[in-house]
C-alpha cells in the first residue's frame, strides 16, 4: 500500500477513539495551544468579518470547533468553515460533532476550492502526515487570498537540543505510544506518532519550506516543554 494511503487507513481505524486519546496524551493542554493559534490569527488578520476559514487534515473537527468558539469570543464573524481530510472515518466523526460546517474528503495537495478563496487556512497536527509536504504548501498558497494566513500546529523538533527536549523525547517514545494503544487498541498507530516526529523536518526547515511556497513567516513559538510548535505565515 502507498505510504499516504496507509496513513489514511490508520486514521480511519483510530477515528472513534481519536479525541479521547488526544486529550489524555496531551493532558488537555492541546486545547490551550489551539485557542492561542485562533486568537493570534484573528489579531494578525485584523478583520471583523472573515469569508472563509479552511481546516486541512481536519480530522474529527476539533480545530474547527475552536475557530468558531474563539471567533465568537473575539467578535469575529466567520461566514464559512470548511474541513478537508482524506479519512472518511475521521470526517464521519466531525460531521456528527459539527453538522453546521462544510466538509470535503480530499488530500492536502488537492483541495477542491477556488484560487484565492480562503482568508485563513489551518492544519493542526496533520502536516506531519502529508507525504508531499512542499506540494501541499504550494496548494495552501493557491487557495489563500493575498495576505491570507496559514496556521500550523505540529509536534516538531528544534535544531537546538536541551534538557527539556530530552525529557519530551522520553515521554513521546516511552510513554505516549502505550497510553494511545490502551485507548485505541492500536499500538502501531501511536508508535507511528513519535517515529514520524523523529524523521520529520525541523522547525527551521519548515520555515524555509513555507518561504519557498510564497509565505512570509510572522510568528513561531513552541509550547509546553517544546512539545508543540505554532507557526503562522502570511501569503505574500
pLDDT tens column, 119-163: 999 999 889 889 899 999 999 999 999 999 999 998 876 666 666
pLDDT given for residue 129 in this prediction: 85
| Residue 181: inside a domain | no
Q: 212, 134 in Cβ contact below 8 A?
A: yes
| Residue 11: inside a domain | yes
Which range of residues forms the domain containing residue 122? 3-155+204-235
* Domain harbouring 217, CATH code: 3.40.50.150
Question: CA Rg, the chain, in Å?
Answer: 17
- If one counts the domains in the chain, the total is 1
Q: 217, 20 in Cβ contact below 8 A?
A: no
| Residue 39: inside a domain | yes
Residue 193: pLDDT band (50, 70, 90) is low
pLDDT, one tens digit per residue, over 54-76 is 999 999 999 999 999 999 999 99
Beta strands in 57-210 (DSSP E): 77-85, 102-105, 118-124, 144-154
pLDDT given for residue 218 in this prediction: 98
Amino acid at each position: 500500500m502507498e505510504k499516504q494511503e496507509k496513513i489514511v487507513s490508520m486514521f480511519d481505524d483510530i477515528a472513534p477513539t481519536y479525541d479521547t486519546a488526544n486529550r489524555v496524551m496531551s493532558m488537555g493542554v492541546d486545547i490551550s495551544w489551539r485557542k492561542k493559534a485562533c486568537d493570534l490569527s484573528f489579531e494578525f488578520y485584523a478583520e471583523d468579518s472573515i469569508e472563509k476559514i479552511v481546516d486541512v487534515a481536519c480530522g474529527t473537527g476539533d480545530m474547527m470547533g475552536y475557530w468558531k468558539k474563539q471567533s465568537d469570543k473575539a467578535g469575529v464573524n466567520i461566514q464559512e468553515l470548511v474541513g478537508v481530510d482524506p479519512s472518511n472515518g475521521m470526517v464521519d466523526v466531525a460531521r456528527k460533532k459539527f453538522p453546521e460546517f462544510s466538509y470535503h474528503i480530499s488530500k492536502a495537495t488537492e483541495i477542491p476550492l477556488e484560487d484565492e478563496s480562503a482568508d485563513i487556512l489551518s492544519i493542526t497536527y496533520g502536516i506531519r502526515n502529508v507525504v508531499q509536504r512542499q506540494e501541499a504548501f504550494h496548494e495552501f498558497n493557491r487557495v489563500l487570498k493575498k495576505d491570507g494566513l496559514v496556521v500550523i500546529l505540529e509536534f516538531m523538533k528544534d535544531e537546538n537540543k536541551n534538557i527539556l527536549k530530552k525529557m519530551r523525547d522520553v515521554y513521546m517514545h516511552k510513554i505516549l505510544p502505550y497510553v494511545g494503544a490502551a485507548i485505541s487498541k492500536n499500538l502501531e498507530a501511536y508508535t507511528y506518532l513519535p517515529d514520524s516526529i523523529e524523521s520529520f523536518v525541523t522547525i527551521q526547515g519548515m520555515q524555509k519550506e513555507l518561504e519557498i511556497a510564497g509565505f512570509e513567516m510572522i510568528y513561531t513559538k513552541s509550547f509546553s516543554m517544546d512539545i508543540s510548535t505554532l507557526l503562522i505565515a502570511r501569503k505574500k
